[in-house]
Structure 1
Amino acid sequence: MSQNAFDQKKASILDEINSPQPDLSPKGSIDELCIPIMELINSHKDMVTTSSCSGRVSVFVEGTKHYNEEIKVGGKGQGGRWLFVSHDETNVVGWLDRLEQDSMAENIIVNIGNVEDVSKFDGSHRYILYKYEPFILHVKCRDFDVASKLYNTAMDCGFRESGIGSNNLVAIRINIKLDVPIGYLDETSNQLILFVTEQYIKLLDNITLAKFNDNAKKINQLFNKIEHDIIKDSGIGSTMEKKLTETKEERRQRKRREGLERQELLNQANNNDL
């Protein structure tokens, strides 16, 4: 008997996950912290993980891009680049020393000093951003019932940025973020100018280490909740089998309920994006 569309998609994704070849992410492999929860979710016949990030710290120089015949600053754009990025909390402390060593080879000088006139800084400057971005996981589900169950489980664990997209794709997200400007690129001299002190960098590093710790705790909480409420829930059974045994009236009521729930979740997702 041929597989349906979801089973075919899941088999294809699992083949990619299990392949020894690098994946399409910049890192080229799955973050180790994500592997246990991905394996747990993928053990369920009605779910499959499609992308993930365990959480990362980065230092990023904004790029430029053309918009309505104007040059705008922000995002990757032209010239945007990472100065430092790591998914490993052991690499947080000391990143500035490593950056200064690398910058010497690139003929880019990192200056640390006080900026006296802050009034000159506006949206035209390419800022250096220090970021911590938390765990994110995308899971494709067989149908809306399964997607709704996973979404509610994530929300119960505090993943309040989660949502359900098209094709029953659940994005599991949490707001443990840090995003602050610490300097700018002087395009005239090609220098990276940090307008914060080394002590402030150490403060940011300490905050980031705490966020890495909170992030790991939330992933573990989510793992346990999914294992208890979805994987080991003897009442969940096969979603497809349940639907085969329902009456026409039960099916009509279920479809109406799904429509209302889907609209509510889409409204929540739109509000989160505002």
Structure 2
Amino acid sequence: MARQNPFDQKKASILAEIQSLQPDLSPKGDVDVLCYPIMELINSHNDMVTTSSCSGRLSVFIEGTKSHNGLQKSGGKGEGGRWLYVTHDVNEVRGWLDKINPDTFTFAQEDFTHLIGDSVSGKRLALYKYEPFILHVKCRDFAVASKLYNTAMSCGFRESGIGSNNLVAIRINIRLDIPIGFLDETTNKITCCVFPHYIKFIDELTVSKFEENKKKMQVFYDRVESNMFETAGVNTSLD
């Protein structure tokens, strides 16, 4: 029996993992529902397979600490970094603050202009983040990867790129990344340095980002369907 091509072996392994009931390594633990249509389309192509995806999400993230040149600094996931709130559902954006334990999240009752300057660098910030759709696709060869990359670029995914082993990252820059407070390490509480109505304002911005993101995903789906598929590239064994 002929040995299976390495790409086909990898694709079979990835598809088996996607179809399994085991949780993945993401905070959510499984594939986002909005990603299924584009994943199924791409995975029906003989020369492509999706390796990771996110349909877009709102998160409130508390920075951790990390060592740099022997010093402890804040930033990134680091030690102790954690998500305070995460959702991939646009319907769970408004009112997210009501779901947070009030014992761990409070609004500042004073002027925080004294935090401007060097004193901010040591703070573990609370970051309000909207991150849009992202998809990684492994391709059989560079010709397929290049065609997929050009397809993504043509419909506005300007942050896309081709990495090693013909792995294409499909990305778009419609994100938000806003510091809204900091962790008080003496009380282990998050102090919010903006007013509640500002939170509502950026929630509305996030809802509009979700809506724009969904439209972009549909444009990408349509363009992949029209640009990438020929009879020779469709896996007709998948019904």
Q: Shared fold by TM > 0.5? A: yes
Structure 2 equivalent of residue 44 of structure 1: 45
Letter of the 2:74 counterpart: V
Higher RCO structure, 1 or 2 (CA under 8 Å, sep 6+): 2
1:181-220 maps to which residues of 2 (within 5 A)?
Answer: 181-220=179-218
Query: Does the 8 Å contact 2:107/2:195 carry over to 1?
Result: no
CA distance in 2, matches of 1:223, 1:23: 24
CA distance in 1, matches of 2:108, 2:97: 11
| 2:111 corresponds to which of 101, 112, 115 | 115
Tell me how far 1:114 sits from its aligned partner.
4.5
CA distance in 2, matches of 1:174, 1:26: 21
CA distance in 2, matches of 1:21, 1:152: 34
Structure 2 equivalent of residue 93 of structure 1: 94
Deviations 1:89-147 (A, max 9, x none): 11111111111xx243xxx3423445243336421111111000000000000000000
Structure 2 equivalent of residue 148 of structure 1: 146
Tell me how far 1:25 sits from its aligned partner.
2.2
CA distance in 2, matches of 1:109, 1:130: 13
Structure 1 equivalent of residue 122 of structure 2: 124
Structure 2 equivalent of residue 78 of structure 1: 79
More strand by share: 2
Letter of the 1:144 counterpart: F
CA distance in 2, matches of 1:117, 1:159: 38
Give the TM-score, by structure 1 length.
0.80
Letter of the 2:207 counterpart: L
What is the aligned-residue identity percentage? 61
| Secondary structure at the counterpart of residue 224 of structure 2 | helix
Letter of the 1:17 counterpart: I
| Secondary structure at the counterpart of residue 120 of structure 2 | coil
Query: Does the 8 Å contact 2:59/2:86 carry over to 1?
Result: yes
Query: Does the 8 Å contact 1:113/1:197 carry over to 2?
Result: no
Query: Does the 8 Å contact 1:53/1:137 carry over to 2?
Result: yes
Tell me how far 1:28 sits from its aligned partner.
1.5
Q: Describe the shift of the 1:45–1:109 C-alpha distance in structure 2 as closer, same or farther (beyond 3 A).
A: closer
Tell me how far 1:217 sits from its aligned partner.
0.3
Query: Does the 8 Å contact 1:58/1:82 carry over to 2?
Result: yes
Over aligned residues, Cα RMSD in angstroms? 1.4
Gaps of 5+ in 2: 234-239
Tell me how far 1:80 sits from its aligned partner.
1.1
Structure 2 equivalent of residue 135 of structure 1: 133
Deviations 1:222-255 (A, max 9, x none): 0000001112x46xx46xxxxxxxxxxxxxxxxx
Gaps of 5+ in 1: 239-274
Tell me how far 1:19 sits from its aligned partner.
1.1
Structure 1 equivalent of residue 221 of structure 2: 223
In our comparison, the structure showing a higher alpha carbon Rg is: 1
Query: Does the 8 Å contact 1:113/1:196 carry over to 2?
Result: no
Query: Does the 8 Å contact 2:133/2:172 carry over to 1?
Result: yes
Letter of the 1:164 counterpart: I
Letter of the 2:107 counterpart: N
Letter of the 2:148 counterpart: L
Give the TM-score, by structure 2 length.
0.92
CA distance in 2, matches of 1:175, 1:67: 29
1:154-193 maps to which residues of 2 (within 5 A)?
Answer: 154-193=152-191
Q: Describe the shift of the 1:10–1:76 C-alpha distance in structure 2 as closer, same or farther (beyond 3 A).
A: same
Structure 1 equivalent of residue 65 of structure 2: 64
